[in-house]
Chains A and B, each alone.
Chain A
Amino acid sequence: AQSVAQPEDQVNVAEGNPLTVKCTYSVSGNPYLFWYVQYPNRGLQFLLKYITGDNLVKGSYGFEAEFNKSQTSFHLKKPSALVSDSALYFCAVSPQGRALTFGSGTRLQVQP
């Protein structure tokens, strides 16, 4: 069985500063890893995914994530945060394109 851990319930960062939202995973076999963002009362929007290849994945809205196999991590990053990035972020893992297992979510608060 697979699992995802997002150790921080909330991350606070000042606008213009870099941000990191942490994610670690456990899965047998090669993982498919995803980041989604959820705005209030909305569905989830896909940000980026890692399946294979380059460990640094670039996604939507300037976000990127780094896959680290030895640390079983897939942290989300952005060089310069915007107030509009404030939202709930979910990391997810899937065994080869089947059902997603989500982390508990991390609330990102970007202060002006």
Chain B
Amino acid sequence: NAGVMQNPRHLVRRRGQEARLRCSPMKGHSHVYWYRQLPEEGLKFMVYLQKENIIDESGMPKERFSAEFPKEGPSILRIQQVVRGDSAAYFCASSPPGDTQYFGPGTRLTVL
């Protein structure tokens, strides 16, 4: 049973470009969560999704950030017009409803 998969593992973007981060949940998991980890800090919740629904986006910045989890395919975290402050590790977790979250290896975004 494959774990949570994220790609790319490393992503370099110049200021103003778009970043797309992908997350494939574990088999049988219908819930996806995105978290951001700044250097030497803990993880901060961004958004919680089920298939085709955003359940909680209270941690998402109001501008430039969006997330989706379509009926088919991976969950996508999209960051438009990236700035240097977006440089961080972005982790995806998946779970069955109301159960333990299992994390992917993360995508390390560097904005030049």
Binding site for B on A (CB under 8 A): 34, 36, 41-46, 49, 90, 96-105
Contacts and interface: CB of A to CB of B under 8 A. Distances in A.
A7 B6 CA distance: 31
Contacts of A100: 33, 35, 43, 45, 93, 101
A98 B42 CA distance: 17
Interface of B: 4, 6, 33, 35, 41-45, 48, 55-56, 58-59, 91, 93, 95, 97-106, 108
Contacts of B33: 99-100
B43 A44 contact: yes
B103 A44 contact: yes
A42 B4 CA distance: 12
A25 B13 CA distance: 37
Contact of B98 (A41, A42, A90, A97): A97
Contacts of A45: 103
Given A97-B95, A97-B99, A103 B42 contact: yes
Contacts of B6: 43
A102 B100 contact: no
A16 B48 CA distance: 40
